[in-house]
Amino acid sequence: MSITPQVASRQARELCQLAPIVPVLVIEDAASAEPLAEALVSGGLPVLEVTLRTPAALESIRAMARVQGGHVGAGTLVTPDDVRAAKEAGAAFGVSPGATEALLQACEDEGLPLLAGAATASEAMRLLERGYDMLKFFPAEASGGVPALAAIGAPLPQISFCPTGGVSPANAKDYLSLPNVVCAGGSWVAPKEMVRQGRWYEIERLASEAALLGK
């Protein structure tokens, strides 16, 4: 069932409000997906982004969608085919590095809430004009970091962001302190080596620490 841009953006905002950090996950082995999701959700991070950068991504989304209390989305959406594949795999939302007319239309047609990427005021304004007021600020650090996002927020206070790209435990609180930031995306809560070794308890601990960053 299709949705309007306004509904897509509102639903994305509701998900972003569930926790201060959205884990950005690059999964190499789908067998690790479900226990990884369980660890992150148990640690207090229920909204998960699985990037479509590996052959295991779609299967991982299917597995994670079974985890109670979790909301699994597909990241790195670039084409309408990506959108359709993510939706079919059970993604609850999508995340894109930028935004094109074709990508936005595909998400709306598929009823997939989208966190569309923007790095400049003009990009953010174009998305706002269409009806999106909850965006991804990407690549956050390379685009000027906290000062840049604060500067964009001054003339565009009606737009909120989830900064992603270079966000770490060292700067996450600085991002989260901005009035136009709802949450931030980060990969540090699921280090590749920990995932490979199945160190779920340690990942749950990292998620618990990240969940406290917004307090």
Give residue-wise pLDDT tens across range 117-129. Answer: 999 999 999 999 9
State the residue for tokens 């909120």: 160
Whether the pLDDT of residue 208 is over 90: the answer is yes
Q: Is the CB of residue 142 less than 8 Å from the CB of residue 160? A: no
Provide the 8-state DSSP code for 73. E
Residue of 49, 108, 110, 204 marked active site: 49
- Helix 101-110 and helix 5-16, axial crossing angle in degrees, nearest 10: 80
Confidence of residue 28 (pLDDT cuts 50, 70, 90): very high
Residue with more model confidence, 215 or 73: 73
Residues 6+ apart with CB under 8 A from 193: none
Count of CB atoms within 10 A of residue 181's CB?
Answer: 24
Tokens coding 142: 């390379």
Q: What's residue 111's pLDDT?
A: 98
Q: According to the model, what pLDDT value does residue 201 have?
A: 98
Does residue 49 carry a catalytic annotation? yes
Cα separation, 37 vs 23, whole angstroms: 10
Arithmetic mean of pLDDT, 49-75? 98
Enumerate the domain spans of the chain.
5-205
Please give the share of the chain, as a percent, with pLDDT higher than 90.
Answer: 99
Query: Looking at the domain covering 5-205, what would its CATH class be?
Result: alpha beta
- Indicate the pLDDT class of residue 51, thresholds 50, 70 and 90: very high
Q: For residue 44, what is the DSSP state?
A: T
Question: Is the model's pTM score more than 0.75?
Answer: yes
Q: Is it the case that residue 65 has pLDDT exceeding 90?
A: yes
What's the whole-number mean pLDDT along residues 93-120? Answer: 98
Residue 46: predicted pLDDT: 98
Paired with 24 in beta bridges are: 49
Q: Do 50 and 60 meet the contact criterion of CB atoms below 8 Å apart?
A: yes
Question: For residue 1, what pLDDT is reported?
Answer: 87
* Angle, CA of 155, 93 and 213, to the nearest 5°: 60
Please give the average per-residue pLDDT across 36-62, as a whole number: 98
Contact between residue 125 and residue 19 where contact means Cβ atoms under 8 Å apart: no
Nearest Cα neighbor of 3 from 131, 127, 171 is: 131
B/e letters for 49-82, b = 16+ CB within 10 Å, e = fewer, are bbbbebebbbbbbbbbbebeebbbbbbbbeebeb
Catalytic residue from among 38, 110, 136, 204: 136
Q: Which residue has the tokens 């000062």?
A: 147
* pLDDT higher than threshold 90 for residue 184: yes
Predicted local distance difference test score (pLDDT) of residue 215: 73
Computed over every residue of the chain, the mean pLDDT equals 98
Position 214 scores a pLDDT of 83
